[in-house]
Amino acid sequence: MRLDEIDTPALLLDLDAVEDNIATMQHLLEGTGVRLRPHFKTPKCPHVARMQLEAGAIGITVAKLGEAEVLADAGLGPLLVANQVVGAPKLARLVSLLRRGVDITVAVESEYHVRELAAAARGGGVRAAAVIEVDAGMRRCGTANPAVTVRLARMLMDEGIEFRGIMGYEGHMYGQPEAAARERLIREALDVVRQHVEALAEAGMPPSIVSTSGTASVPIAAGAGFVTELQAGTYVFNDLHNEAFIPGRFRFALTLLTTITSVKERYAVADCGLKSLTNEFGAPVSPDGRLRASRLSEEHAIIVGDGVSGLRPGDRVELIPSHGDTTLNLHDVYYVRRGGEVVDTWPIEAARRFR
Ligand SMILES: Cc1ncc(COP(=O)(O)O)c(C=O)c1O
């Protein structure tokens, strides 16, 4: 199939760019001793996860059990849920994954989480495995005190849960646009994680997993010396937001193909809107930078820029999302391209698996 035969709006995935991004990340980590367990919140598609594993990833990180179930059904893992699994319905799903023999680790951050996990595992006749989430400064989830981390590690062991280590995510660095200040912030966050690692080691429970970091902090975290694995996700597709923080490293793999439905004197209108494209991190832009979706309503995009004068109704325009993850979550399928040819369609099986 050729690109011009696809109905729009449609999400295009450039396979050459995906392959390059996967290779670039693996290359970045070569010789550092740090491994990659890429975050599935970006691709949400087992085909991509399989490519990452084949290139050397040691497993897959997920945010939600729904994502873990998609990967388990595809036979992919081992899995790390970088999030708390809370509530009876979710714990029952976790137990059923464990019963199937899925290698899955979940994050805990308080005695409540350990107790509930232990009770569910006992009730289901399975052995659970956990990491302790530490708050690396993001002020989201995680223990803030190394002494608490040590106490939870002991409690996990006492409760018969396999203690596998710790995780921390320094996502607050994306709030710092200035590169030197951001680097300081990342180093401070890593230092917090290091304090938890040292406290555990002193208590005789050295963590075997120390998992941190999104795409933009990979170059720093890879040299930290105590981090064992990274959770980066966005690198695999890249988007405008990620590019602003780690410019020139990764290719844009994801674009939304749209059709121009109307052309006015100073702007044009495309057939995509908030139901197929998000703009939370700014305006989506065409690959040549000459068109910008300055405004989105539900099913319309207002396109401006110096490329508008050349547009006619019926023209096709590609837009790079400012945030790929929330855009692709609106879709069901990637049209996989090599150049101008669509070579495959891949279901985005974990789209909207937010439970
Ligand atoms: C816990 C956790 N780890 C890793 C990541 C991946 O970060 P990035 O998208 O910057 O690669 C995220 C992103 O939301 C996250 O929430």
Q: What confidence score (pLDDT) does residue 237 get? A: 98
Residue 125 CB burial class (10 angstroms; 0-12, 13-18, ≥19): exposed
- Pocket of ligand 1 contains residue 249 by CB under 6 Å: no
Q: Would you say 216 and 246 are in contact if contact means Cβ atoms under 8 Å apart? A: yes
CA gap 206, 24 in Å, rounded: 31
Q: Hey, where are the domains in the chain?
A: 3-10+249-347, 16-237
Tokens representing residue 232 in the block: 């980066």
Which two structure tokens, joined as six digits, stand for 86?
């809370």
Does residue 171 have its Cβ closer than 6 Å to ligand 1? yes
**What is the structure's pLDDT at 113?**
98
Which class is domain 3-10+249-347? Answer: mainly beta
Residue 28 neighbours by CB under 8 Å, 6+ apart: 218, 219, 222, 249
Q: Which residue's alpha carbon is nearest to atom 13 within ligand 1? A: 214
Residues 77, 37: Cα–Cα separation, whole Å: 9
* Smallest CA separation from ligand 1 atom 7, residue: 214
CATH 3.20.20.10 fits 16-237, yes or no: yes
pLDDT tens over the chain, length 355 residues:
899 999 999 999 999 999 999 999 999 999 999 999 999 999 999 999 999 999 999 999 999 999 999 999 999 999 999 999 999 999 999 999 999 999 999 999 999 999 999 999 999 999 999 999 999 999 999 999 999 999 999 999 999 999 999 999 999 999 999 999 999 999 999 999 999 999 999 999 999 999 999 999 999 999 999 999 999 999 999 999 999 999 999 999 999 999 999 999 999 999 999 999 999 999 999 999 999 999 999 999 999 999 999 999 999 999 999 999 999 999 999 999 998 999 999 999 999 999 9
For residue 90, the model assigns a pLDDT of 98
Q: Which atom of ligand 1 is nearest to the CA of 42?
A: 9
Q: Cα of 231 to ligand 1 centre, how many Å?
A: 6
